[in-house]
């Protein structure tokens, strides 16, 4: 039985509003406070928001899009697909970096939303033996890193090789799909998709079963890949394509980007080489380069004995930040934000002051440690 007063149900109904887009949907949620409040609003209130046009206002008032929400709920229930929203515990907090963060996600399996380390591995569908072999070497090293997942797009080529190598090395892997979870694209990867679930990984998409497949869904998918990951590794790619878009987005989200260099006359290394040349990616010579740069190696862990007093004369807020960094090796800016969100103060200002006064230092991967 569907609870039509359920916020998830109303969020799903909001997502079916014609031509609304994710940014407008988030603006509406900020304005009204919830999807339930949007559908309970009067025409004058909807018009006053100046977010919707007349046709969209009429759709909200008639609640006709809630019929599509009912269809989707039934489809998900039949296919054992979970529906997530920003209200869900399973909704990945890393996606909060997005101005256009999804208001609804569909998932199967385990997407590990609270994992401390994640890396996207992306590249061309026409990968070479060179790229595939490097992925194998990299994943063999990455399995030594605790609490980590890989993320990719389930496409042929580099994506498939990254997922298979993760499975081989017992690293959970998450497939971010452009289309509905009701079908696997490309079909040749059906066995791979099943294996991902069997090996403690998951599938995720923002696309409902009622959306028509189109080329525009793939760039939309790429922003989720970039945002889900602390780092993006571009293995092989041409000068244009989805991997270049993903790398660009990762840079915009202040995530680290790495690229494997290749021969100057190899079309599917030109994109990687250009990213490095234009200072949009860090050159990777060995599998250890990424692990060391991200401070993911065991030797980089630095935990100060909590019984040792650190002389400190700053504010109480700054002291709490300092204690968090002292007691949590490799803590990054996202984790600090989550831990300090209920405290009264500015995290950015505290970090700058602590670093200027020599208490902490910033490291690769937006991480901090005690000096």
pLDDT at 153 over 60: yes
pLDDT per residue as tens digits for the range 285-309: 999 999 988 888 764 444 444 444 5
Q: Which helix (H) or strand (E) holds 175?
A: strand 173-176
pLDDT per residue as tens digits for the range 38-77: 999 999 999 999 999 999 899 899 998 999 999 999 999 9
Q: What per-residue confidence (pLDDT) applies to 179?
A: 93
User: What percentage of the chain carries pLDDT values higher than 70?
Assistant: 93
Q: What per-residue confidence (pLDDT) applies to 76?
A: 94
Q: What per-residue confidence (pLDDT) applies to 2?
A: 61
User: What percentage of the chain carries pLDDT values higher than 90?
Assistant: 59
Q: What per-residue confidence (pLDDT) applies to 231?
A: 95
Please say whether the beta carbons of 260 and 272 come within 8 A: yes
More confident residue, 304 or 4: 4
What region does 295 belong to: left with phi over 0, alpha with psi -120 to 50, or beta?
A: left
Q: What per-residue confidence (pLDDT) applies to 167?
A: 98
pLDDT per residue as tens digits for the range 22-42: 888 999 999 999 999 999 999
Helix axes 65-78, 7-15, angle to 10 degrees: 110
Closest CA to 234 of 324, 135, 96: 135
Residue-averaged pLDDT of the chain: 88
pLDDT per residue as tens digits for the range 82-92: 999 988 999 99
pLDDT at 17 over 60: yes
Determine how many CB atoms are found less than 10 A away from the CB of residue 312.
13
Q: Give residues with Cβ within 8 angstroms of 138, minimum separation 6.
A: 121, 165, 233, 287, 290
Q: What per-residue confidence (pLDDT) applies to 40?
A: 92
Closest CA to 257 of 232, 227, 279: 232
Q: How confident is the model at residue 156 (pLDDT cuts 50, 70, 90)?
A: very high
More confident residue, 363 or 241: 241
**Could you give the residue ranges of the DSSP H alpha helices within 101-210?**
129-142, 158-168, 190-198
pLDDT per residue as tens digits for the range 165-202: 999 999 999 999 999 999 999 999 999 999 999 999 99
What does the pLDDT average to over 94-100?
Answer: 88
Q: What per-residue confidence (pLDDT) applies to 301?
A: 44
More confident residue, 201 or 338: 201
Q: What per-residue confidence (pLDDT) applies to 304?
A: 43
What region does 63 belong to: left with phi over 0, alpha with psi -120 to 50, or beta?
A: left
pLDDT at 352 over 80: yes
pLDDT per residue as tens digits for the range 222-237: 999 999 999 999 999 9
pLDDT at 246 over 60: yes
Q: Which two tokens stand for residue 289?
A: 């380069």
Distance CA 329, CA 145 (A): 14
Q: Which two tokens stand for residue 40?
A: 């309970």
More confident residue, 110 or 263: 110
* Residue whose token pair is 């740069």: 293
Helix, strand, coil abundance in the chain, percent, nearest 5: 45, 10, 40
């Amino acid at each position: 039985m569907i609870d039509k007063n359920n916020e998830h149900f109303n969020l799903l109904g909001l997502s079916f509003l014609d031509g609304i887009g994710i940014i407008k949907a988030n603006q509406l949620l900020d304005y009204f406070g919830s999807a339930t409040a949007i559908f309970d609003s009067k025409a004058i209130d909807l018009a006053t928001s100046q977010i919707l046009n007349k046709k969209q206002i009429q759709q909200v008032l008639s609640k006709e899009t809630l019929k599509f929400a009912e269809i989707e709920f039934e489809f998900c229930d039949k296919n054992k697909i979970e529906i997530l929203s920003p209200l869900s515990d399973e909704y990945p907090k890393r996606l909060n970096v997005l101005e256009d963060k999804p208001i609804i996600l569909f998932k199967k399996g385990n997407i590990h939303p609270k994992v401390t380390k994640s890396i996207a591995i992306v590249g061309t569908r026409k990968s070479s033996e060179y790229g595939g072999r490097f992925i194998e070497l990299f994943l063999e090293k990455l399995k030594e890193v605790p609490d980590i997942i890989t993320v990719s797009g389930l496409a042929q080529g580099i994506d498939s090789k990254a997922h298979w190598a993760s499975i081989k090395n017992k690293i959970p892997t998450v497939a971010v799909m452009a289309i509905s979870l009701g079908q696997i694209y490309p079909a040749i990867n059906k066995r791979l998709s099943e294996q991902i679930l069997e090996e403690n990984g998951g599938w995720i998409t923002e696309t409902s079963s009622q959306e028509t497949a189109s080329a525009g869904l793939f760039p939309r998918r790429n922003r989720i890949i970039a945002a889900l990951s602390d780092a993006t590794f571009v293995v092989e790619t041409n000068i244009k394509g989805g991997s270049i878009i993903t790398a660009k987005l990762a840079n915009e989200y202040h995530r680290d980007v790495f690229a494997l260099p290749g021969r100057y006359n190899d079309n599917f290394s030109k994109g990687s080489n250009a990213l490095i040349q234009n200072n949009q990616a860090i050159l990777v010579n060995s599998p250890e380069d990424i692990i060391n740069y991200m401070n993911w190696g065991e030797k980089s862990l630095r935990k100060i004995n909590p019984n040792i007093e650190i002389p400190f004369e700053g504010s109480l807020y700054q002291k709490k930040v300092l204690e968090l960094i002292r007691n949590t090796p490799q803590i990054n800016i996202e984790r600090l934000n989550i831990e300090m969100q209920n405290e009264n103060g500015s995290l950015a200002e505290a970090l700058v002051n602590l670093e200027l006064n020599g208490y902490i230092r910033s490291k690769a991967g937006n991480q901090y440690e005690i000096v």
